Amino acid sequence: MKLTGKTAVITGGNKGIGAACALAFSREGANVVIAARNMSDSNRIVEQIISEGGKAAAIATDVSDHEQVKNMISRTVEMFGKIDILINNAGIIADSFINKMTLEQWDKVIATNLTGTFYCIREAVPYMIENGYGRIINTSSVAARKGAVAQSNYAASKAGIIGMTLSLAQELGKYNITVNAVAPGYVATDMTSNLPEKIMERANKVIPVKRFGTPEEMAAAFLYLASDEAAYCNGAVLDINGGLSL
């Protein structure tokens, strides 16, 4: 198995892409820590992993709260002794046209999506440096490449993640820590299930492969970047969007 003996922290790991990553990583031998706000959803994934013979734990975490992130990282090390892999997947949306967007909508999205990613990396990196190994994979979005109407806050946060990824890949590579990103397009998750039918139909028309992606297809990209097969992959942004960004 590709991740035997590794410990992976997955923020937002209780739904959609994050849950698919949690299951995929466990099936490849990793100890999995799910860091998310909703413990009932997190516990459900943990129970599934354990029922399959894996090792997992859930820690209630709002990544926009630095103290909660510090606690989550330290508890992970207490339970499993180290952190090898960090998947920064927690994210929210608060869509609005710019002239109607509230300060709260802007601040909440940036605080969770971008600042939360910073908090997690900042707290995990010292342990990775100490161990001489790390895989950091950040979730960006096709919106970072193309923008999105009524999503200036979301697109800005995801574009910021790409800039952070490229910067930290250069900064941390000397410690045998790689930093990469995955930029999904439309994926069939809870977040997209609430889209109006007309928007979904329009999206399927412009996606070259004519469909939304699946969480499992996204998880395969994260799994590759977390594996030793991707040891020389650093500072990459994988666009997994069915050709939407072309």
Active site residues: 154
Q: Give the whole-angstrom CA distance, residue 195 versus residue 199.
A: 7
Residues 69, 74, 78: CA angle, nearest 5 degrees: 145
Amino acid identity, position 27? R
Q: Tell me how far apart the alpha carbons of residues 89 and 40 are, in angstroms, rounded to a whole number.
A: 18
Query: Is 155:143 a contact under the CB 8 Å cutoff?
Result: yes
Query: Among candidates 26, 30, 150, 45, which has minimal Cα distance to 80?
Result: 30
Q: How far apart, in whole angstroms, are the C-alpha atoms of residue 191 and residue 25?
A: 22
Nearest CA among 24, 31, 149 for reference residue 99 = 149
Residue with tokens 């109006």: 196
